[in-house]
Structure 1
Amino acid sequence: MIGGITRIAVWFGLSSWMLSCSSDSSQGLADIPETVSYNLHIRPILSENCFACHGPDANKREAGLRLDRETDAYAALKEQPGRHALVPGDPQASEAYLRTVSTDSSERMPPPSSNLSLTDHQVRLIEKWIRQGAAYEPHWAFVPPVKAALPADDLGWAQNEVDYFVLKGMREQGLTPNQSADKRSLLRRVYLDIIGLPPPPAVLDQVETAELDLDALLDSLFANPAFGEKMAIHWMDLSRYADSHGYQDDYYRTQWPWRDWVIHAFNQNMPYDRFVTWQLAGDLLPDAGKEQVLATAFNRNHKITEESGAIDEEYRVMYAVDRTNTLGKALLGITLECAQCHDHKYDPISQKEYFQTYAFFNTVAEWGMEESTPGFSKKSPAKLPMLEISEADVSDILHFVNLPDSSRRVQALLANMGKGANYNSLLAESNVLKVSVMGEPDSTRQTYLLDRGMYDAPLEKVSPGVPEAILPFPEQLPKNRLGLAKWLFDPKNPLTARVFVNRIWQELFGQGLVSTPGDFGMQGNLPVNQPLLDWLAVDFIESGWDIQALLRTIVLSATYQQSSQVTAEKLERDPENRLLSRFPRQRLPAEGIRDLVLASSGLLVPEIGGPSVKPYQPEGLWEAATSGRGNLSRYQQDTGKYLYRRGLYTFIKRTVPPPSMMLFDASNRDACEVERLKTNTPLQALVMMNDPVVLEASRVLAERLLESQQPVPELIGNAFYRILGRKPETAERLILEENYRTFFEAFEADGARAEQLLAVGEYPLSPSLPITERAALMQVISLLYNLEETITKS
């Protein structure tokens, strides 16, 4: 089979179809289980069809009936004291069941007006559940995880604990695991997953004659500073990091030193509990230094406004709400935001508990807006409190901050601020970086439950607290963000470890064990393998919250090392590959595509950290899409080495995010995002065929290969090896050589066209090399970059 050469423009069709299929599509045809479980079978039905009117939200509850708690469901009905919604053991006496089978439209539940209805299979499940006693179970995600005993391995396949649980799930569905991937494929997979870069040819050569020692490979990759950059990408998404404020005028922000800290923390393998605690409450730690305070910029990455006419209190409340919602989604994996305006309709979280959690983040001494009109000043603008970082700090305690030289910073400031800026004042400003962080709390500010979540409608006063259904807040903990962090990492907290383990699993396999990573609540999907998730969560805690140990456990499993080959039987039985009887093929993230192109061509500048950079993008985009005001009103493209930094460092203006990255589903960082959408559009193919980064990389790689003066077949083979991590098959090589000849003849007949093609990008040309050969080889390399296999991890 030719590895994608003839399918350049047909991208990921099969994988997209598989992702869009529902694993529950055949549930209605399934047999009724011998024992019906509330959590597995009944709660999803009630949550989807009943809880909106008969669930936790008291404001929307109808007929006084609550079905999410057994005591309420068993009680006599308020409107019919002689009847009960559920009578354990007797479906015919259970009004909830009788309403589902009623032929009277005025009695039937869910009511026809809701456009909801139960399938026959769901009705039969409910009926059998009631006959078996209508036993309720606590929601799985609100019960602390425990390590289950390892299942049996009847194949002798397992390499570590992960595999026992995965194999059990496969065998229950009649599936068997794939054989292990070949050495080069596995090497490429591990490189892309751990440092986000392809393996260099010298490393690929080594596995030709030696065994692949994954344990030793992981040691070397964890020691590579690129590890921290790769890990930081997903953390930027959930922390909503950007280089501008957002909203219409969208001014510049200097938060990148915090990004440098995140990279540093991952490279130091900082335990996850400390990593998060510093970000939530580093300023409240005893003897907190500048590094701990810098970490708290996590809380201040949200959008802020600088527009005249904004109401301070309205926006200040929005900022505290954003911090609260980020805590819920990023660290707890629950839809806490649903309780801002009313009691949560599905999860046991009241509106009062929402604002009790909000109270932890409501004491920052900040204003809601920052006025940028010349001559206007305010004691506490939106960016305050701020941490000042001097060059002395960088040479001492904050050595991980990549402080650019003063002249470059001044040039950047001048470019952003336009004409009339004072050079000397800018030079003084450039010597001190200012990062928005958490600061001394405003002890005078009270927190209130807000009616319908409106900033100007305070009701009762509330004090800091948490949702009791997750874990009560211990009395001995301080009621501040530091206490909140300690609650978060209490060994009895059922969510924190599960949520992070699930996200790491998602990073490696493309989909978490819980496929709704931001919702472990009643409306979220059940884990595909809860014993595995719980085993990993407990092991993560027992390891001291060791992130690299977690990655090592998963990568060293036979599950991770499987080939991605798929048979018709496996595609039919498990189209979404939820049971992992093969390794999933996944397109690289937007940043990963850029990094692969730059690294394989030799253009990548491996410098760690520093300010965000502005690579090529369509001319006039910023100017046409924004208000025309502010210091980011025009795009000033970078030059030199700054054009070739990793995708992590690409400048993100929230109102006009980088177009090529957005087309590959990157986040615009408006809000916390724990999972990127997966889309396929023709525009993605157009980006790969026309983006100056891809074309320039193709030219530079062609020139570097031609300098070796090897025969054309070897040049093409070397390019293939660098880009795809393997040698071309005979059929592939013949197609590429024929393409080269076609391009060569065309450019030989039209030299001007060749010169125009080679003029792309700012990297210096190699004029001593023949134009026709350069252009022809450049086109072949561009073709390789456009292969589906190139930007796919498999």
Structure 2
Amino acid sequence: MKQKLSIGIILVGLVALLFAFKSGLFKSSGDEYADQKLPKVVDYNFHIKPILSDNCYTCHGPDANKRKAGLRLDLEKEALSELPENPGKYAIVAGKPSNSLLYQHVVSDDPKQLMPPPDSQLALNSYEKKLLKKWIEQGAKFDKHWAFIPPKKAELPTSERTDWAQNEIDAFIMEKLEENDLAPSEKAGQHTLIRRMALDLTGLPPNADQVQRYLSNSSVDILELAIDEFLASPTYGERMTQVWLDVARYADSHGYQDDSYRSMWPWRDWVIHAFNNNMPYDEFLRVQLAGDLMPNASKEQILATGFNRNHPITQEGGVIQEEYQSYYVVDRTNTLGKGILGLTLECAKCHDHKYDQLSQRDYYEIYSFFNNVDEKGLRMDAVQAANQKYFADAPFMTITDEETQGVLSFINKDEGKDVKVMVMNDSMPRTTYIFNRGEYDSPGEEVTPNAPEIILPFSENLPKNRLGLAQWVTDENNPLTARVFVNRIWGMLFGNGLVETSEDFGVQGSLPSHPQLLDWIAKDFMEHDWDIKYLLKKIMLSATYQQSSIATEESKKVDPDNKWLSRAPRFRMSGEIIRDYVLATSGLLNKEIGGPSVKPYQPPGLWEETNAGGNRGVLTTYVADEGDKLYRRSLYTLWKRTLPPPSMSIFDAPNRDICEVRRQKTNTPLQALALQNDVQMLEAARVLAENTITDTKDAEQWVTTVFQRILVRNPKEEEKKVLEEYYTDALDKFLNDKENAEKLIAQGEYKRLDTDPAKTAALMLTAQVIYNLDETITKE
């Protein structure tokens, strides 16, 4: 009897424990989400949709081919409707979690009932389950995807702290800081801010004379003065173009196996021209998408459409013309999606998008806008390819001397040499079909040009061609275009956008860290006529941008990734900016604007190793340029798709096969080796050392002068002492080993100055040390 009673007590205890676990009265020590506070109001877009997207949409989302149980959770009407395969039952019953099969399956202990199924390797944590429950209790309110709702200006948040904010941006930042018990950092020093602004707006460091002039100015607006001068510099256009080339997948070769030369650089000259003239962003997009279709289109407007022809083009024998022609249209469609709309349109090429409300029909309706170009899948025949007579695939425009003296005066062309550039020309009307499973040779239903209604209905007043598409893209009611661009500008300045996945504003993309701020800036940008320079200046004049990058222990603990921007970011500069920085501070930089691409130093034999054998033209063997061409900005470095410039690839540059809007960030030993051993780096250090020795008679000032030239500030006493000791040690070694000193200073093609080899080599190595400092290659 006692044994039975004991067993009964144990069973009752187990049942009580189980009830306690399920009720949340007893929390497992391993449940890291158990104490996470629920928001007062559960928001569908920011709390619920990410849960459903990550865990449910694969089987219950937009893709009809993968949908199970007839349940679709991404649309309110269908999610709240009676289940077709379970009459009388509902996945979601507003206000009643206990009657909602979605919630019941999510919290089930039965592996056969549990959702997501255990074999999916997906699972909701306790906090996500509580969110779902509270959301249903609060009425299960659905909203349109946040990025598809046109941005509006919210009222500026108020704060008890009134001594920090410098403009509207700071009000939104402070709100998030206070929510996370953080305080902003102090304002960075003037030296730091001037260098930061110069790098952000010109891609080059300020020179010592500029800095001295700004700092000696008693005006309280010296930072605004510096911003205005940097924005007015021709180097501003080069800096902004460098970023746009990744978006536009610009290259100087066609790609694919043979990868021969193309002359698209005049289009790059146009981009520099457009940025320097502060062309409004909406116009900048319209002329690139459809300049050729504008009334009485000018040569400049037609040239701008080279944007659409930057895609790879095959020159290989045996290809099927129609297949590759479809690839080119696909590329233009995908580039519009990723580069301008911030959407993964390509996911709807073969089937309905699995996560976003974009159907396969939507994809091919956009595709049809780009499908009327009279181009061939194969660039040229074998004879033409061998002779390399043609550097542009039809349709193309020819740029003559006369035009570069007139309407196209911004193009830096050699006199007497006409240039052919690929552009758009809708002279081949085609019928567009939905390709079954995305296969060009399996046409299905016919479609006509249109745009996804979920984003913005395509007005009947718009022409059904690329010009109409361009007008739809830049319509102020389009919820994506301005948001995507201002987010990318924010990412350029801060390292990450307010939406980290700047290429994907869809359901699977990151949620904005500061949604109201993103919308405010986007709306403000449009209200100021899509003025890019205004946008940059607005952000740079904020207290948020002007913070110090020094992280306190508290901010590193609470916000290790600096999501809430309690400090300025620190991140390594791009490969292009690092190289240009070294050229500029050494005195080597050739400041010529525009023109054909050039070939600086590159390890020998690389092109030969990757050459497929069929390419017998100018891209078969790499022969470096000579003279000033070696020292052009990295923007002008020749870009071969099958082997991009190695000094750029090492620092995470893409190969430009497809549109890229966000480079990956890595930190590898190869990067350190490149900074220490690349010929261009060694030559720059040598030239800087020679110039310093020649121009500065006081040898005791040499190390300080080199430091000032590179870092645009005076060294601290400790820094100066360490570097001078290093220089002295190196000098002692080279005085006893002049042969190695001669070998070291022989680096590079730039002319030698008549300086002492041992002193030059020692100061050269000292400059190398400074060039390799974290402070030198980091924007902070």
TM-score by length of 1: 0.92
Distance 1:773 1:181 in 2: 36
C-alpha distance in 2 between matches for 1:356 and 1:522:
21
1:282/1:293 contact within 8 Å kept: yes
Match of 1:192 in 2: 199
Q: Give 2:510's aligned amino acid.
A: N
1:288 aligns with 2:276: no
Match of 1:396 in 2: 406
Task: Letter of the 2:227 partner, please give it.
Answer: L
Q: Distance in 2 between matches of 1:628 and 1:582?
A: 53
Between stretches 328-337 and 626-635, larger displacement belongs to 626-635
Partner residue, 2:151: 145
What corresponds to 2:90 in structure 1? 84
Query: Is 1:731 aligned to 2:724, yes or no?
Result: no
Change (3 A) 1:26 1:581: farther
Match of 1:9 in 2: none
Deviation at 1:382, TM superposition (A): 8.2
Contact 1:184 1:207 survives alignment (8 Å): no
- Quote the residue 2:468 is aligned against: 483
Partner SS state of residue 547, structure 2: coil
Q: 1:384, 1:436 within 8 Å by CA — same for their partners in 2?
A: yes
Deviation string for 1:10-53 (max 9, x for gaps)? xxxxxxxxxxxxxxx97675212222111111100000000011
CA distance in 1, matches of 2:341, 2:280: 17
Q: Partner residue of 1:10? A: none
Could you say which residue in structure 1 is the equivalent of 2:742? 755
Q: How far, CA to CA, are the matches of 2:598 and 2:586 in structure 1?
A: 20
Could you list the per-position Cα deviations for residues 361-389 of structure 1 after superposition, in whole angstroms to 9, with x for gaps in the alignment? 01111111123412799xx9982100110
1:765 alignment counterpart:
752
Quick one: distance in 2 between partners of 1:141 and 1:376? 46
Query: What is the identity percentage for the equivalent residue pairs of Structure 1 and Structure 2?
Result: 53
Q: Is the 8 A contact 1:340 1:355 kept in 2?
A: yes
Distance 2:453 2:313 in 1: 31
Once residues 106 and 383 of structure 1 are traced to their aligned partners in structure 2, the CA distance between those partners, rounded to angstroms, is 59
Cross-structure match for 2:623: 636
Q: Quick check: 2:152–2:520 contact (8 Å CA) kept in 1?
A: yes
Q: Alignment RMSD, CA only? A: 1.5
Instruction: State whether residues 708 and 714 of structure 2, in contact with CA within 8 Å, keep that contact through their aligned partners in structure 1.
Output: yes
Amino acid at match of 2:106: T
User: How far, CA to CA, are the matches of 2:107 and 2:477 in structure 1?
Assistant: 42
Report the 3-state secondary structure (helix = DSSP H, G, I; strand = E; otherwise coil) of the residue aligned with 2:257: coil
| Alignment-mate amino acid for residue 700 of structure 2 | P
Question: Which deviates more from structure 2 when the two are superposed, residues 126-135 or residues 464-473?
Answer: 126-135
Equivalent residue in structure 2 for 1:216, among 205, 211, 225: 225
Q: Secondary structure at the match of 1:435?
A: strand
Q: 1:657 to 1:149 in 2, by over 3 A?
A: same
Q: Contact conserved, 2:290 with 2:466, CA < 8 A, in 1? A: yes
Whether the 8 Å CA contact 2:288–2:304 is kept in 1: the answer is: yes
- Please say if residues 696 and 760 of structure 1, whose CA atoms lie closer than 8 Å, have aligned partners that are also in contact: yes
Aligned residues of 1:385 and 1:439 also touching (Cα < 8 A)? yes
Q: CA-to-partner distance for each residue in 1:117-143, whole Å, 9 max, x for gaps? A: 111111111111111111111111100
Structure-2 separation of matches of 1:249 and 1:527: 42
Equivalent in 547, 562, 567 of residue 552 of structure 2: 567
Matched residue, 1:440? 426
CA 1:29–1:346: 2 relative to 1, 3 Å: farther
How far 1:405 moved relative to its partner? Answer: 4.5
1:269 aligned residue (266, 272, 278):
278
Match of 1:412 in 2: none
How is 1:326-345 mapped onto 2 (pairs within 5 angstroms)? 326-345=335-354
How many residues of Structure 1 are paired with residues of Structure 2 in the alignment? Answer: 742
Alignment partner of 1:258 is 2:267: yes
- 1:548-567 per-position Cα deviation (integer Å, ceiling 9, x unaligned): 00011001111111110101
Aligned residue for 1:666? 653
Secondary structure in 1 aligned to 2:421?
strand
The Cα offsets for residues 476-504 of structure 1, whole Å up to 9 and x where unpaired, read as 10000000011111121111110000010
Q: Is the 8 A contact 1:28 1:119 kept in 2?
A: no
Equivalent of 2:685 in 698, 713, 718? 698
Q: Which runs of 5+ in 1 are unaligned?
A: 1-24, 407-430
- What are the Cα deviations for residues 432-471 of structure 1, in whole angstroms up to 9, with x where unaligned? 100010013312x100000011111100100001111000
The alpha carbon displacement at 1:87 in A equals: 0.6
Contact 1:28–1:122, Cα closer than 8 Å, also in 2: no
What's the secondary structure of 1:374's corresponding residue? Answer: helix
CA contact (8 A) 2:261 2:391 kept: no
Worse-superposed segment, 105-114 or 360-369: 105-114
Equivalent positions of 1:223-262 (< 5 A) are 223-262=232-271
Partner-residue secondary structure (3-state), 1:651: coil
Name the aligned partner's letter for residue 434 of structure 2: L
Give a deviation string over 1:648-693, Cα, whole Å, max 9, x none: 1111100011111111111211100000000000100000000111
Match of 1:424 in 2: none
Distance 2:279 2:607 in 1: 38
Q: How does 1:492-531 map to 2 (within 5 A)?
A: 492-531=477-516
By how many angstroms is 1:106 displaced?
1.7
Correspondence for 1:49: 55
Q: Whole-Å Cα distance in 2 between the matches of residues 28 and 400 of structure 1?
A: 63
Whether the aligned pair in 1 keeps the contact of 2:204 and 2:577 (CA below 8 Å) is yes
Deviation of 1:588 after TM superposition, in Å, equals 0.8
Q: Which residue of 1 aligns with 2:667?
A: 680
State the alpha-carbon separation in 1 of the partners of residues 415 and 295 from structure 2: 34
Q: Which of 387, 404, 415 lines up with 2:397 in the alignment? A: 387
What do residues 529-557 of structure 1 show as CA deviations (whole Å, max 9, x unaligned)?
11111111111111011000001100111
* Distance (whole Å) between structure 2 residues aligned to residue 129 and residue 94 of structure 1: 12
**2:580 matched to which residue of 1?**
595
Change (3 A) 1:381 1:356: farther
Pair 1:376–1:713, CA change in 2 (3 A): closer
- SS of alignment partner, residue 774 of structure 2: coil
Choose from 155, 163, 168 the match for 1:161. 168
User: Could you say which residue in structure 1 is the equivalent of 2:9?
Assistant: none
Does the Cα contact within 8 Å between 1:604 and 1:645 map onto a contact in 2? yes
* Alignment equivalent of 2:187, drawn from 176, 180, 185: 180
Cα distance between partner residues in 2 of 1:372 and 1:442:
21
Tell me, yes or no, if the aligned pair for 1:150 and 1:164 is still in contact at 8 Å.
yes
CA distance in 1, matches of 2:378, 2:301: 26
By how many angstroms is 1:209 displaced?
Answer: 3.3
Q: 2:766 maps to which residue?
A: 780
Distance in 2 (CA, whole Å) between partners of 1:72 and 1:94 is 14
Cα 1:127–1:718 change in 2 (3 A) is same
Give SS of 1:539's match. helix
Partners of 1:100 and 1:123 within 8 A in 2: yes
Equivalent residue letter for 1:452? R
SS in 1 for 2:420: strand
Unaligned ranges ≥5, structure 2: 1-30
Q: In 2 relative to 1, CA 318–382 (structure 1 residues): closer, same or farther, beyond 3 Å? A: farther
- Say whether the 8 Å CA contact 2:380–2:393 is kept in structure 1: no
Confirm or deny: 8 A CA contact 1:695 1:782 kept in the other structure: yes
Shift of 1:205: 2.0
Q: Which has the higher contact order (CA 8 A, sep 6+)?
A: 1
Equivalent residue for 1:321, pick from 306, 326, 330: 330
Structure 1 residues 375, 689: closer, same or farther in 2, change over 3 A? closer
Amino acid of the structure 2 residue aligned with 1:552:
K
CA contact (8 A) 2:734 2:740 kept: yes
Q: Write the distance in 2 (CA, Å) between the matches of 1:456 and 1:658.
A: 37
Contact preservation (8 Å) 1:747, 1:775:
yes
Work out whether residues 385 and 438 of structure 1, in 8 Å CA contact, stay in contact via their aligned partners in 2.
yes
Quote the Cα distance in structure 1 between the aligned partners of 2:97 and 2:760: 78
Residue pair 1:368, 1:382 contacting (<8 A) in 2 also: no
**Letter of the 1:167 counterpart:** M
